[in-house]
């Protein structure tokens, strides 16, 4: 059967999983971390994705993009607060799209997410030694139609067919095998880098159903980092009031230090830090305690608990009725979060599976099932927010209510309010308010060709169909004349099909040159690391290598430098390999000396 992998496209990290002979596992090339940071940097007209890009956040902050997921399906007004904190430029574009500007180039969030997906796909193919073209991709349960469409568009740009878009909490429950319970209720608390979801699942026999969900697409570990950044700013200004934070380098050093503090406090009651700010000529130090950190993030944690209360209220349940509680997302490793969840639900949550990997594993299992693998359960997801149309006076007429199980189809009759009206605009919205001005516009189309009739006489049936991926198709038909129109909703925040096709054509046209350019960058970074290692060990070389050997080494370094200036990645790789062969005796000697020194110190 053709393999369908699962992909967790995260705000902070992304990874893939699949089912192999031993069961579900995350996948990565041998010896490599399966987690790919969702970070990319632009260099010489090409993208570098993952760990190599993370290192550029300090040295090239304006060219390095992260937290792309928070930009998906959002406009500039909605992102106003986030944009203030970002070192790269986010600008408005047509149809309420936002774009990221790097130098003279502009990119949509879909294009940026596609680069991350492309890297995850490449690593999975390397690990599995096979081509991958289909995937189950996870999204927060609270993602609306615009964000789900944006995710699907990004996957298509990356060369992936999305077989199913799966809610992240549902994927986590699948990973834990909770569907194998005979019955009960499960709460899935999912706090990642940029989003939060609380999903309530009802398990009954082999029926696996999401009965309610609530969350916040702008709440996560990034916000924990911001609280620590604020603390560091306050301390810094108290000692150095002259310091400003306008420079992108300063902002990124603050962010990097805040992330490091957060990570260390997950395993220690306090941690020391050094904030290196060479651009300001200072290097302040300090101590942050877990208690200080928890006090800072307490309001954010309370926001997650407020969502828990709303989801429970929508389902008519109490926290005490939950049979299981599952923690998902990297931010749930924070002790303050775990303690708050345990207090709220009155029971210890499941943490056996790495919270960074659990969503991808669940998606991998779902992909295996859809590919024809055996697993006996029925998966039912829900629509997070009501779907409907604008009616007279700007009111929102809900056709499909929140928490309706998908797939779903609903139709209602409407009529005209003006005599001899021959066309009707169908404006599609998603939200929970009564007026469309308070809801989110997803798209619009026009039903033309209605025969002229008095107001109230035409009968227009508007039908909403939501497929298994949570994606929406809207149709309208005038019953008396048979005039009909249909649209697969491309949100006002999304890319049109022609735009996607154009981007795909460009990627195909430049595939070979782009791959060569990418390899030139990566091989160049490898060469730079080798040069630094040789220079650091040169005193050992002078003591152990002959004059001829040292000269041959220097000559080959010059050859590699020359190849770095050329445009042939394969030729550069050959010269790097040759340099590697020449450095082996030096590396062996340097390693032997280091071991000997350690032994002498130990012998004391």
Catalytic residues: 8, 69, 168, 190
DSSP label at residue 353? S
Asked if residues 236 and 406 have their Cβ atoms less than 8 Å apart, the reply is: no
Q: How do the residues of the chain divide into helix, strand and coil, expressed in percent and rounded to 5?
A: 45, 25, 30
User: What's the CA gap between 224 and 518, in Å, rounded?
Assistant: 34
Asked if residues 337 and 301 have their Cβ atoms less than 8 Å apart, the reply is: yes
Buried b (16+ CB within 10 A) or exposed e, 224-239: bbbbbbebbbeebeee
* Sign of the torsion angle spanned by Cα atoms 308, 314, 315, 319: positive
Q: Which of 415, 414, 413, 411 is nearest to 457 (CA)?
A: 415
Map residue 334 onto helix, strand or coil.
Answer: coil
Phi, psi dihedral angles at 577 (to 5 degrees): -60, -40
Q: Kindly tell me the burial class for residue 482, based on how many C-beta atoms sit within 10 Å of its own C-beta (0-12, 13-18, 19 or more).
A: exposed
Distances (CA, A) of 67 to 221, 282, 425: 11, 29, 36
Where does 201-332 have alpha helices with state H? 221-239, 248-265, 290-315
State both tokens at 151: 């995710």
Asked if residues 406 and 381 have their Cβ atoms less than 8 Å apart, the reply is: yes
Asked if residues 229 and 221 have their Cβ atoms less than 8 Å apart, the reply is: no
Cα of first residue to Cα of last residue in the chain, in angstroms, is 62
Where does 130-210 have alpha helices with state H? 145-157, 168-175
User: What's the CA gap between 493 and 101, in Å, rounded?
Assistant: 17
User: What's the CA gap between 524 and 522, in Å, rounded?
Assistant: 5
Bridge partners, residue 378, by sequence: 207
Distances (CA, A) of 255 to 58, 65, 108: 10, 14, 24
User: What's the CA gap between 208 and 96, in Å, rounded?
Assistant: 37
State both tokens at 73: 């399906």
User: What's the CA gap between 316 and 26, in Å, rounded?
Assistant: 36
Q: Which of 397, 377, 401 is nearest to 388 (CA)?
A: 397
User: What's the CA gap between 562 and 574, in Å, rounded?
Assistant: 13
User: What's the CA gap between 486 and 477, in Å, rounded?
Assistant: 9
What are the strands, taking DSSP E only, across 349-471?
378-382, 387-391, 395-400, 405-406, 408-414, 423-430, 440-448, 460-466
- In the numeric block, the tokens 């080798």 are attached to 530
State both tokens at 86: 């970002």
Max Cα distance, the chain (Å): 102
């Amino acid at each position: 059967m053709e393999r369908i992998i699962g992909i967790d496209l995260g705000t902070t990290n992304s990874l893939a999983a699949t089912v192999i002979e031993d069961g579900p596992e995350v996948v990565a090339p041998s010896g490599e971390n399966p987690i790919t940071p969702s970070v990319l940097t632009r260099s010489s007209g090409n993208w570098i994705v993952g760990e190599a890009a993370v290192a550029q956040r300090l040295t090239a902050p304006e060219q390095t993009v992260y937290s792309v997921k928070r930009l998906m399906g959002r406009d500039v007004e909605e992102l106003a607060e986030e944009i203030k904190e970002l070192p790269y430029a986010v600008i408005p574009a047509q149809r309420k799209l936002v774009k990221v500007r790097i130098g003279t180039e502009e990119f949509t969030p879909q294009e940026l997410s596609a680069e991350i997906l492309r890297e995850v796909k490449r690593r999975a193919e390397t690990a599995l030694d096979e081509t991958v073209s289909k995937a189950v991709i996870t999204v927060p349960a609270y993602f609306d139609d615009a964000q789900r469409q944006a995710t699907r568009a990004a996957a298509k740009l990356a060369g992936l067919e999305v077989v199913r878009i799966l809610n992240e909490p549902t994927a986590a429950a699948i990973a834990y095998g909770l569907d194998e319970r005979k019955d009960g209720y499960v709460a899935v608390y999912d706090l990642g880098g940029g989003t939060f979801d609380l999903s309530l699942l009802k398990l009954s026999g082999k029926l696996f159903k999401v009965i309610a969900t609530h969350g916040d697409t702008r709440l996560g570990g990034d916000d924990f980092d911001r609280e620590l950044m604020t603390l560091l700013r306050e301390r810094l200004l108290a000692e150095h009031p002259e310091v400003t934070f306008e420079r992108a380098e300063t902002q990124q050093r603050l962010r990097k230090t805040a992330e490091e503090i957060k990570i260390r406090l997950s395993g220690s009651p306090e941690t020391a830090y050094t904030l290196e700010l060479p651009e300001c000529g200072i290097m302040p130090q300090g101590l942050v305690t877990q208690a200080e950190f928890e006090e800072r993030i307490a309001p954010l944690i309370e926001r997650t608990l407020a969502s828990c209360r709303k989801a429970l209220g929508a389902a008519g349940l109490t926290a005490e009725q939950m049979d299981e509680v599952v923690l998902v997302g990297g931010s749930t490793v924070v002790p303050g979060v775990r303690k708050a969840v345990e207090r709220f639900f009155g029971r210890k949550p499941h943490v056996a599976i790495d919270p960074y990997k659990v969503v991808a594993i669940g998606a991998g299992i779902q992909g295996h099932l859809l590919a024809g693998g055996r697993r006996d359960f029925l998966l039912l997801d829900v629509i997070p927010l009501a779907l409907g149309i604008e009616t007279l006076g700007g009111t929102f007429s809900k056709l499909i209510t929140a928490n309706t199980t998908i797939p779903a189809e609903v139709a209602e009759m409407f009529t005209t309010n003006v005599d001899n009206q021959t066309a009707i605009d169908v404006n599609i919205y998603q939200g929970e308010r009564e007026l469309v001005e308070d809801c989110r516009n997803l798209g619009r189309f026009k039903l033309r060709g209605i025969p002229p009739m008095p107001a109230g006489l035409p009968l227009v049936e508007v039908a909403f169909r939501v497929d298994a991926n949570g994606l929406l198709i809207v149709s309208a038909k005038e019953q008396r004349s048979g005039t009909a129109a249909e649209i697969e909703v491309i949100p006002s925040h999304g890319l049109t099909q022609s735009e996607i096709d154009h981007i795909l054509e460009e990627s195909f046209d430049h595939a070979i040159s782009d791959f060569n350019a990418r390899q030139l960058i990566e091989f160049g970074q490898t060469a730079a690391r080798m040069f630094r290692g040789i220079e650091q060990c040169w005193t050992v070389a002078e003591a152990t290598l002959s004059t001829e050997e040292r000269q041959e080494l220097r000559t080959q370094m010059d050859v590699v430098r020359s190849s770095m200036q050329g445009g042939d990645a394969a030729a550069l790789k050959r010269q790097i390999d040759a340099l590697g062969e020449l450095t082996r005796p030096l590396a062996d000697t340097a390693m032997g000396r280091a071991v000997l020194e350690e032994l002498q110190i130990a012998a004391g």
